[in-house]
Amino acid sequence: MEAEVDVYRGQAVAPPGSPEVAALVRKLLTELGEDPARDGLRDTPDRVARSLAFLTAGYGTDPRDVVGDALFEAEYDEMVVLRNVEVYSLCEHHLLPFFGRCQIAYLPGRKIVGLSKLARLAEVYARRLQVQERLTTEIANAINDILEPRGVGVVIEAQHLCMMMRGVEKQESLAVTSCMLGRFRTDARTRSEFLSLITDGK
């Protein structure tokens, strides 16, 4: 099973799916009363296998490799905030998507990091089977471990299809989770500044 390729960049945009997963999807379709050999479903098992490989690619990614050499010595000691990072993940309870926006901030110690790397760190953990609470904490802990800053703050606001499509079927519900480390946890003014920066003009 071949990887999907971005024709503009010549790069793989999804890892090849597992033949074993495709076989399981084919069996699932049969158990649901469908015919996996019919036109509309013939390629579905392979597509689902590739999709799941893409959506869970974070398991095979080391966060430190994502940051690489994009750590820089800098005489900057004010808060760095990256707002509205889109995150998409799969709920580990129902394998249904949840999606929303992640707000990330840190107070530099001796180093700063390329801004895109913060978004990529969020992506590493989002591309796993998750619960929102753990996703929030894992992003914050990774930034804290790799950058060794004076503090880290992460807030995620997300909608969960397991609450929208099934169960309570509440379409407008939003789950908000936060993780505050270092100065963001111990200093109310730092925490207040962060929360103000991510809500002003929202």
Least reliable range by pLDDT among 9-13, 45-49, 128-132: 9-13
Banded pLDDT at 166 (limits 50, 70, 90): confident
Banded pLDDT at 202 (limits 50, 70, 90): low
Straight-line distance from the first to the last Cα atom of the chain, in angstroms, rounded to the nearest whole number: 44
Q: In the predicted model, what is the mean pLDDT of the chain?
A: 91
Interval 133-162 mean pLDDT: 98
Tens-place pLDDT, residues 54-88? 999 999 899 999 999 999 998 899 999 999 999 99
Percent of the chain exceeding pLDDT 70 equals 92
Q: Could you tell me if 62 and 50 are in contact, meaning their C-beta atoms sit under 8 angstroms apart?
A: no
Full DSSP string of 170-193: -TT--EEEEEEEEHHHH-HHHHHH
Interval 148-166 mean pLDDT: 95
Tens-place pLDDT, residues 188-199? 999 999 999 999
Token pair recorded at residue 157 = 């606001």
* pLDDT exceeds cutoff 80 at 5: no
| pLDDT in the model for residue 15 | 63
Interval 139-154 mean pLDDT: 98
Dihedral sign (CA 7, 56, 120, 196): positive
Token pair recorded at residue 78 = 């004010």
Q: Could you tell me if 104 and 82 are in contact, meaning their C-beta atoms sit under 8 angstroms apart?
A: yes
Dihedral sign (CA 14, 16, 20, 23): positive
Domains of the chain and any CATH numbers: 4-55 (1.10.286), 63-199 (3.30.1130.10)
CA 124 – CA 139 distance, rounded (Å): 9
CA distances from 128 to 14, 57, 135, 145, 182 (A): 14, 7, 9, 20, 26
